[in-house]
Amino acid sequence: MLHPVLALIAWTMLMLVWLYAARITALFAHKVDPQRLTDKRLLAQLPPYARDPADNYANLLEQPVLFYALSSVIHLSGWGDRLFITLAWIYVGLRIVHSLIQAVHNIIILRFCVFLCATGILGYMLIRTIRVAFNV
C-alpha cells in the first residue's frame, strides 16, 4: 500500500521542480523582478506554461491529502489487499494524467473527467474501508 503513496509523493515533488523551472524561465523571458510576484495580478499575467504547473502543484496538495490519510489507515490496519493496492495505483495514475493534462494543454473538460474518475476511485476506497472497518 505504500508504493502508490510514495509514487504520488514523488510525482508531487517532480511537479514542484517543473513549476519552478517553468516559472523561472518565464521570469527571465519576460524580465520580471521576482520581488514583484507578491502582486497576484502579475502572477496571472505570466504565460500558461508558467501558471499551469503551479496550479497543478497546488491541486496535488488538496485532494491527494485524503488519499494519503486513507492509504495510511488501510496500511496500518493491515487491510491493504490486492484490490486496495490496485485502486491506489489507479488513483495515482489518474492524478498523473490529470497533472499532465493541466500542465501541458489544460483542456478543462478532459481534466475534469479525469478528476471525476480519480474522485470516484477515492470514494470507492473510502466506502470499502468503512465497510471493512465496521464489518458491513
Q: What is the pLDDT of residue 101?
A: 98
Mean pLDDT split into 10-residue runs, the chain, 136 residues: 97 98 90 75 84 96 98 98 98 99 97 99 99 96
Q: What is the pLDDT of residue 61?
A: 98
Q: What is the pLDDT of residue 38?
A: 74
Enter the pTM of the model: 0.93
Cell numbers at 20, concatenated? 519552478
Q: What is the pLDDT of residue 118?
A: 99
Q: What is the pLDDT of residue 128?
A: 98
Q: What is the DSSP string of the chain?
A: -HHHHHHHHHHHHHHHHHHHHHHHHHHHHTT--GGGGGSHHHHHHS-HHHHHHHHHHHHHTSTHHHHHHHHHHHHHTT---HHHHHHHHHHHHHHHHHHHIIIII--HHHHHHHHHHHHHHHHHHHHHHHHHHHT-
CATH number for domain 2-134, candidates 1.10.1740, 1.10.287, 1.20.120, 1.25.40: 1.20.120
Q: What is the pLDDT of residue 31?
A: 81
Q: What is the CA radius of gyration of the chain?
A: 18
